[in-house]
Structure 1
Amino acid sequence: MAPIEHPSFGIMTAPMQVGYDDILRVWREADEVSAIEHAWLFDHLMPIGGDPDGPIFEGWTLLAALAAQTERLRLGLLVTSNRFRPPAMLAKIATTVDIVSGGRLDFGIGAGSRPGHPLARREYAAHGLPYHDAAHAVASLAEACTVIRRLWSEGEPFDFHGEKVQLTGAFGNPKPLQSPYPPILIGGRSTPTLRVVAEHADIWNIPGGDIDDAVRRSALVDRFCAEIDRDPATITRSIALPVSYDRPDNTRREIAEALGAGFSHVVLMLPSPYPDRVAHWVADELIDTRA
């Protein structure tokens, strides 16, 4: 496959083990660096790395604050756990952020933390949230995407009686600024989740690390699109790659592999603590060097 000619690059700052001022500094700087087009947080309620009792911020609240402090970057959560919030409430939260940002939201969502990640799993019991099996989570994700899109676009109240979601008199007002609604990014790699991607996603994101597996999963998205008569080219392929400040050559190599495999939307995950002028370093050392 030919390398992507016009990829987009973004950064991700995990809002754990770090202060608000540090994240704000990085986002404000990135907002001034044209090579960086988007910025992301994640959605966890307790740390999944470092001190398990360390500080962590709630993602959507922080995203709203950063939306108000930036002007250009597209922004979102990579990705929202659909297990944390009822979908109608999530639609309202996301609409608010889209309006606060002036229409810059990319709506990231996924089925929720996988059961094999104990540090992620514990946050459900700690916050009184149910944790259903994977099949339930994926079915809930599909219904959530349907409901959220309807709340963003329909002009009259409606009822929804799904297997997982029940709504009576549901209505979204105001609507998001973006029309018909913010782009929907779905993150995940399991086969059932990729079927939801084919049906609902504008962007599909997968964590990097095994490019061959990412390519196989991308081919599955193509297959599932064909099954529902959707053009797979209408789904942007996104990949999240870890950044090494000490070994930028490794990161540059992974970027080249991802672009060569057809992933045109690249999210560079920045470890904390963040160096001074880290956004400029990303542009100079990881993005602009591709020429």
Structure 2
Amino acid sequence: MTIRIGVQIQPQHADYAQIREAARRAEEIGVDVIFNWDHFYPLYGEPDGKHFEAWTMLAAWAEQTTRVEIGCLVTCNSYRNPELLADMARTVDHISEGRLIFGIGSGWFERDYTEYGYDFGTAGSRLDALGEALPRIEKRWSELNPAPLGRSGSGKIPVMIGGGGEKKTLKYVAKHADIWHSFSDVETLERKRGILAGHCEAIGRDVTEIEVSTAADSAEAAKPLYDAGARLFTYGVGGPDYDLKPLEDLVAWRDSVG
């Protein structure tokens, strides 16, 4: 797989006009993917600062952008009924003409749950709920009219699963994901990629079909992760100023490697 560069425009501490402009500039710089995140309150800085919802924003980006893929890094499975979430994703997929990446994870930010009335449960119960939701989402996609467009008109919306749990999450990645986002350092990434390969082998899948995604804020940070197997590198940035200068470095490195 070729190198791809993403940016996570964190929808916090900014007016929407600033978020819109950051997305415009990121596409102009030449990134491959623009992500947001699925939270209801800022994760950094002033905890009650400005913040916006993820999926309505993705619909706006689908109209605003023309080339980049868009997605959530990552959607919290707990916040929406799986069938509804499938329909929302299919709709954004059509608005964007097949440029949606469906990123999803089990959820972790307790304040979101508490403030919005969701059951926080345990890490295990949230992972179990994710495992139950993924086939429901896939089934709903198969039933919707019109069907998803998917990448390049394939009819298959690419699925990204975020997380590194070795017993559950990586099994879900092996079975359902086109992209695995790892929140880990080089040593951990290498080890967990080996575990993922074992899960893939158990179900007869080639692990090289799964794009490995991780965070990087410079080419120097990305190079050892590239050697460990990562191919999608995402720079995360919060508002209000949205400093996108590191993206120029990452895009230049991508273009130099080919």
Amino acid at match of 2:214: I
Instruction: Please list every run of 5 or more consecutive structure 1 residues that lacks an aligned counterpart in the other structure.
Output: 114-119, 155-171, 244-250
Secondary structure at the counterpart of residue 45 of structure 2: coil
- Flag the structure with larger Rg: 1
Q: In the TM superposition, what are the counterparts of 1:205-216 in structure 2 within 5 Å?
A: 205-208=181-184, 210-216=185-191
- Is 2:255 the partner of 1:288? no
Root-mean-square deviation over aligned CA pairs: 1.7
In structure 1, how many angstroms separate the alpha carbons of the residues matched to 2:159 and 2:84?
A: 16
Whether contact under 8 Å (2:27, 2:65) holds in the other structure is yes
TM-score normalised by the chain length of structure 2: 0.91
Instruction: Please list every run of 5 or more consecutive structure 2 residues that lacks an aligned counterpart in the other structure.
Output: none
Aligned partner of 1:27 in structure 2 is 23
Q: 1:13 to 1:283 in 2, by over 3 A?
A: closer
Give the Å deviation of 1:183. Answer: 0.2
Q: In the TM superposition, what are the counterparts of 1:154-165 in structure 2 within 5 Å?
A: 154=143
1:218-238 deviation digits (Å, cap 9, x = unpaired): 111111111111111111111
Give the Å deviation of 1:96. Answer: 1.1
Number of residues of Structure 1 aligned to a counterpart in Structure 2: 251
Amino acid at match of 1:134: A
Percent identical across equivalent pairs? 36
Give the Å deviation of 1:175. Answer: 2.0
Secondary structure at the counterpart of residue 106 of structure 1: strand
Aligned match for 2:134, one of 145, 154, 161: 145
Aligned match for 1:180, one of 155, 164, 167: 155
Secondary structure at the counterpart of residue 199 of structure 1: helix
Q: In the TM superposition, what are the counterparts of 1:59-74 in structure 2 within 5 Å?
A: 59-74=54-69
Aligned partner of 2:42 in structure 1 is 47
Give the Å deviation of 1:173. Answer: 2.7
1:238-270 deviation digits (Å, cap 9, x = unpaired): 1123x3xxxxxxx32211111111101111112
Aligned partner of 1:197 in structure 2 is 173
Whether contact under 8 Å (2:22, 2:242) holds in the other structure is no
Give the Å deviation of 1:289. Answer: 4.2
Q: 1:283 to 1:45 in 2, by over 3 A?
A: closer
In structure 2, how many angstroms separate the alpha carbons of the residues matched to 1:143 and 1:64?
A: 26
In structure 1, how many angstroms separate the alpha carbons of the residues matched to 2:128 and 2:204?
A: 21
Q: 1:125 to 1:283 in 2, by over 3 A?
A: closer
In structure 2, how many angstroms separate the alpha carbons of the residues matched to 1:66 and 1:132?
A: 33
- Is 2:90 the partner of 1:95? yes
Secondary structure at the counterpart of residue 78 of structure 2: coil
In structure 2, how many angstroms separate the alpha carbons of the residues matched to 1:91 and 1:289?
A: 35
Whether contact under 8 Å (1:153, 1:181) holds in the other structure is no
Secondary structure at the counterpart of residue 254 of structure 1: helix
Give the Å deviation of 1:285. Answer: 2.3
Give the Å deviation of 1:182. Answer: 0.6
Aligned match for 2:195, one of 206, 220, 223: 220
Aligned partner of 1:248 in structure 2 is none
Whether contact under 8 Å (2:5, 2:250) holds in the other structure is no
1:189-234 deviation digits (Å, cap 9, x = unpaired): 11121111111101000124x2111111111111111111111111
Whether contact under 8 Å (1:149, 1:181) holds in the other structure is no
In structure 1, how many angstroms separate the alpha carbons of the residues matched to 2:179 and 2:232?
A: 9
